[in-house]
Amino acid sequence: MRKTLFGLLFSGIAVLALVIAGLVFVLWPRPVPSNTDKSLPVVSSIAPEKIQLYKIEGSAKQYARNFVVSDIHGRFEELKRTLKLVNFSKKDRLFVIGDTIDRGADGFGALLYLTHTLPAEGYHVLVFMGNHEEMWLQLANNGSSDAERQSNLNGQIDIYEGGAPNGWEASRKQWNALSAQERAFLLNEMASGFGQPHLLIMKLGGKWLSFSHTADFTKPLSAQTDNDLLWYLQMKDSDDVFQKSVAEKLGVKEDELQVFIGHIGGLRFGVHPHYICLDDTNTRDFNKSPGVQFYEIESGKFYGKEVKE
């Protein structure tokens, strides 16, 4: 009888321990993954490019913290260090507003990490197209099979005889090292704009926010084109037509709308009267760029310059 009671007690304790261990595993905060997840969905064909120009979300889901970053440009290790620095969790959200690839050591690794690995683990990341993703899509999506697309891509880059612009030579090596499945997945993601419009206008915590790779600040919202939202460079602090027109469409004051962009390079990184620029790269010497920097919307603080190694 004692042995039976002892056995039942022991079994009960073991079950309780397993339950507690399971709860700890589920609830205990864990750091973001350090490597790219390779378990990608099978892509049988590449969809034609179709990206919405802009979208307005009046009741966006709330998260504990919201971070914005742009122009990572292959600085994958620096990206992971900044995620660790801010203790990025599944209660947070990250907006990546274009130009994740080219120039740096592992742009496509960073792009796979942001579009697949983190979301698969339950993290919340919104990735947008930049002009570098748009250029690469045009380069790499020319053919009906992976072999044909690869042949055409390498042939186009070979024309430059080792002097290819925009960091394409480094990107070519990274792209060629991917599997056919990884290349197809990324091409499909780029063709759909990663599921995002070129311009997302969102209400968050009582304030309106605008996210795009760039915009022509001399033109109203109604006149913006795909090209404006991917390529425009000539910003002046006095240009407020874009911000003013978006605020008018929303029926709010201009100072109730915060505009986020990237694209312009480190000379205009930071807070300006009509936008915040998140492109911190050194356009003259990319290797002198600082660590990948995040902007936290709730606190108004920048994080990440100090993690450059």
State the DSSP H helix or E strand holding residue 231, giving kind and residue range, or none if neither: helix 226-231
SS (H, E, C) 53-92: CEEEECCCCCCCCEEEECCCCCCHHHHHHHHHHCCCCCCC
- Find the range with the poorest average confidence among 22-26, 149-153, 156-160, 245-249: 22-26
The residue among 39, 60, 45 whose CA lies nearest residue 205 is: 60
- Find the range with the poorest average confidence among 114-123, 160-169, 192-201: 160-169
Instruction: Read off the pLDDT of residues 53-78 as tens digits, 9 standing for 90 and up.
Output: 999 998 778 899 999 999 999 999 99
Binning pLDDT at 50, 70 and 90, where does residue 27 land?
very low
Query: Is pLDDT of 156 > 70?
Result: yes
Angle between helices 131-140 and 146-158 (to 10 degrees): 110
Sign of CA dihedral 225, 227, 230, 231: negative
Rounded to whole angstroms, how far apart are CA atoms 186 and 7? 55
Q: Domain map of the chain by residue range?
A: 54-307
pTM flag (> 0.85) = yes
- Tell whether domain 54-307 is in CATH 3.90.1300.10: no
Query: Is pLDDT of 160 > 60?
Result: yes
Instruction: Read off the pLDDT of residues 192-240 as tens digits, 9 standing for 90 and up.
Output: 999 999 999 999 988 999 999 999 999 999 999 999 999 998 888 889 9
Structure-block tokens of residue 13: 């304790």
pLDDT at 38: 56
Rounded to whole angstroms, how far apart are CA atoms 20 and 198? 45
- SS3 for 254? helix
